[in-house]
Amino acid sequence: MPKQGILGRRMLLAGAGAVALPSLARAQASRRGTTRIRYAHSTPTTHGWHLWGVQFKESVEKSTDGKIQVTIIPNAQMGTERDIAQAIRLNSLEMGSVGVALMNWLPDISVTDAPFLFRSRAQAYAALDGALGAELKQRALAKGFRIVGWNDLGMRAMTNSKHPINTAKDLSDLKMRVPDSKSYVAMMQAMGAAVVSIDLSELYLALSQGVADGQETPAPVIRSNKFYEVQKYVSKTDHVLTNAYSIINPQFYDALPPDQQQAVLAAGDAATRWLRANTQKDESELYDFLKTKNMQVNLTPDVDSFRQATSGVIAGFPDLFAPDLVKLARSAEG
């Protein structure tokens, strides 16, 4: 693990001492009449998690006249996604954005990563802003996380360093990186690829060293993490709309005055709307950008081949893709 990840883990997961220090800082801030929120993520400052955090910070500080102050801590300074989620659950960190790491405590949330789950982005937004999102928020709260925002990080694409990917069969000789998630392992194995699980914060190095031949993340992530420097081919497969989660510790949230609670929720909603619009704008431009970085871009792969290869994954793994949640997702308008 990178040095910063090790340091972050030591800082955050040192047991009682890890909780006591932020508690003291909060008490001191309270006496000064301000509430301080540390918002952490494991990615570069060009990534959607950072952009969401910037919008949240601006919105909540403005709406509370500075009574809430947000410090953004990027680049895995506080550890991996799992470190950050664990720290928030322990109340040694107030807030952050994570993705598949949340599945360690809430496997049901993997439904948002089911392959070809939604007909459209509009349907995905309707589901997350409606019954599906409400149910996931309730289940997350029961596990020690309050979801205050959804992060549209983009439609996923596939990259690799060996050859173009046009159909699912082209994955048969590739070792593809996936997140540390059973749902992604199941999906990529159904497509015929060998898989290796690597945290996003460590992926660039793994690709550069040949630990994996390729990976599948949204186009904005390919840019923000500079994967174009270590990958040659990219295909716009759109197999998953990547949705991640901005979370806050429930105890910390419940201790806020009611007006600050409402400000946090409103700022989360505003940041979610902003990121959705920004991600869609980004996607329309990003493949041209990747061409300028000498990647060979395939905008028209045989998407049906990927859909057919994964057609049995959702029904075949009910422990990952709970049927009641799949029904809520697919019954949304859009």
Q: How far apart are CA 307 and CA 284, in angstroms?
A: 22
Could you tell me the sign of the dihedral formed by the alpha carbons of 248, 265, 321, 168, in that order?
negative
Indicate the pairing of strand 146-160 with strand 233-235. Answer: antiparallel
DSSP 159: E
- Residue 180: predicted pLDDT: 87
Token duo for residue 49: 């998690």
The pTM for the full model equals 0.86
E strands in 9-137: 35-40, 68-73, 95-98
- Residue 334: predicted pLDDT: 81
- Residue 284: predicted pLDDT: 85
Using a 10 angstrom Cβ sphere, with 0-12 exposed, 13-18 middle and 19 or more buried, the burial of residue 65 is exposed
What is the residue whose two structure tokens read 């007909």? Answer: 119
Whether 184 contacts 121, CB under 8 Å:
no
Amino acid at 130: G
34-38-43 Cα angle (round to 5)? 155
Q: How far apart are CA 172 and CA 192, in angstroms?
A: 5
pLDDT in tens, 61-82: 999 999 999 999 999 999 999 9
CATH of the domain at 29: 3.40.190.170
Q: How far apart are CA 244 and CA 153, in angstroms?
A: 7
Q: How far apart are CA 30 and CA 67, in angstroms?
A: 10
- Residue 97: predicted pLDDT: 98
Whether 216 contacts 176, CB under 8 Å:
yes
- Residue 11: predicted pLDDT: 42
User: What's the N-to-C CA distance of the chain in angstroms?
Assistant: 42
Please state the separation of Cα 203 from the chain's center in Å.
Answer: 15
Residue 198 CB neighbours (<10 A): 19
- Residue 1: predicted pLDDT: 39
Q: Identify the H or E element spanning 210.
A: none
Closest CA to 264 of 148, 147, 151, 150: 148
Q: Identify the H or E element spanning 3.
A: helix 3-12
Residue 22 CB neighbours (<10 A): 20
Grouping H, G, I as helix, E, B as strand and the rest as coil, residue 229 is helix
E strands in the chain: 35-40, 68-73, 95-98, 146-160, 175-178, 194-197, 214-218, 233-235, 241-248, 296-298
Count: domains in the chain: 1
**What domain range is 64 assigned to?**
3-330
pLDDT < 50 positions in the chain = 1-21, 23-24, 27-28, 31
- Residue 316: predicted pLDDT: 95
Please state the separation of Cα 228 from the chain's center in Å.
Answer: 20
Q: How far apart are CA 104 and CA 96, in angstroms?
A: 16
